[in-house]
Amino acid sequence: MSLVGGSVLVTGATGGIGHAIVRAFAARGADLIITGRRLDVLEPLAAEVGARAVGCDLANRDDVAALAAEAAGVDVFVANAAVPASGVLTELTPEQIDRMLEVNLRAPIALARSLAPLMIERRRGHMVFISSLAGKAASPASSIYSATKFGLRGFALGLREDLRPFGIGASVVLPGFIRDAGMFADANVHLPTGVGTRSPDDVAASVIRAIERDRAEVEVAPLGLRVAANFAGVAPQLAGTVSRKMGSETIASRLAAGQMDKR
C-alpha cells in the first residue's frame, strides 16, 4: 500500500486548506484522523470522507499528548494547523505570543517526536510540515509568524536527515498567498497587480507530491514570489528595501488588521 493511501493524521482540518488536504488523501483511499478545535466543522467533513474526527486545541499540551496517543502508528503526519501570528511584536500580548508559538511550532514538533518511534520501528512513514514562504522571507508585522515558519522549515529539514537512515521521509511545504481559504484569504487583503496566488487544491496537490516523490521542500506560489523569497534568503537587506518599495508595509499592516480577531 502506498503511503498516501495508508493511515494519515491531518491537523488543522477545519480550515479550507485543511479540507482540501483531507479530500486529497480521501480520494486516494487513506484512513484518516482529522483534528481541529471546532467539532461542528470537523464532524461533517469526517462523515463526508469516512474519517475519525478528534477535537484538539494544539495550544493545550494535554490535548497534544492525547492526540499523539490517538494517532500512534499512522503512516503519514501532516502538520497543517496554525494560527495567525501577524502583528508588530510590541502590540502582541505575552499570552498571544505563547499561543502562536505553541500551535505553530511546538505542537508539530511534539507530535513528530511522539509519532516517529513507531515509524522508525516499521521503517515506513512520512511527515509533512506546512510552513510558508514567510519561512524564507520575513516582512513587516510578521516577526512571530516568521519565527514559527522559519523554525518549522528548519525543523523539517533537520528531521529529514535524522529520519533518512530509517527510510522515513520528511517534507516542508511553503505556500505563498492562497486564495479562497486560509489566513490570507480570511483577512480579505487585496494584492498589488501582478502578485499571483495559488488555491487550496494546489497546496493539497503539493502535499501529495511531496510524499510520493519524497521531496525535501515544495513551494506553492507563482514563479515571481518564489524567486523573491529565495533572493531574500541570500540578500535579506536588499530584498527588504525592494519589498518596501513595492508596498510590503501596507500589505502587512492590512493583513495584521484583518487577522486581529483570530489571534
CB contact at 8 A, 75 and 130: no
CB contact at 8 A, 219 and 233: no
Q: Is 145 a catalytic residue?
A: yes
DSSP conformation class of 72: T
Distance CA 36, CA 41 (A): 9
Written as one string, the DSSP assignment of 24-61 is HHHTTT-EEEEEES-HHHHHHHHHHHTPEEEE--TTSH
Q: Give the count of beta carbons closer than 10 Å to the beta carbon of residue 68.
A: 18
Q: Which of 120, 111, 101, 117 is nearest to 156 (CA)?
A: 111
Which residue among the candidates 145, 150, 177, 184 is catalytic per the annotation? 145
Kindly report the backbone phi and psi dihedral angles of residue 52, in degrees, each rounded to the nearest multiple of 5, phi listed first: -100, 120
Question: Strands, DSSP E only, in 113-168?
Answer: 126-130
CA distances (Å), 40 to each of 36, 53, 64, 80, 146, in order? 10, 10, 20, 19, 30
Q: Give the count of beta carbons closer than 10 Å to the beta carbon of residue 1.
A: 11
Task: Catalogue the active-site residues.
Answer: 145
